[in-house]
Amino acid sequence: MGSKKTDTVGDLARIGGYVRMKCRRCGHEGRFVAAELVAFFGYNKRPETIRGRCTACNSPDVDVGPDLGLARGDLRREKPKPV
Ligand SMILES: [Zn+2]
């Protein structure tokens, strides 16, 4: 048990985050919009408990986790224009 708290997909969706899935067999990596996963799993689902399957080699041995890296870049904050 680590001390690192993992966000739920609901938490990720709120900040525009992603869920990353990486195949342990072939290394294929996919990224899913957390907001779309909420529709399937609900807000309280933790990314690491999602059972994925590699779309490249069809292996069920997929590492799933939250991806916040892109979320920050995607959060575009429009600066109010001076009048
Ligand atoms: Zn694979």
Residue 77 has pLDDT above 90, yes or no: no
Q: Could you tell me whether strands 62-67 and 29-33 are parallel, antiparallel, or unpaired per DSSP bridges?
A: unpaired
| Res 63: pLDDT | 94
pLDDT in tens, 14-46: 988 999 999 999 999 999 999 999 999 999 999
Q: For residue 64, how far is its CA from the centre of ligand 1 (angstroms)?
A: 13
Q: For residue 66, how far is its CA from the centre of ligand 1 (angstroms)?
A: 19
**C-alpha pair distances (Å), 15 with each of 1, 38, 59, 71, 74:** 25, 13, 30, 7, 9
pLDDT in tens, 57-71: 999 999 999 988 554
Q: For residue 65, how far is its CA from the centre of ligand 1 (angstroms)?
A: 16
Residue 1 has pLDDT above 90, yes or no: no
pTM score of the predicted model: 0.71
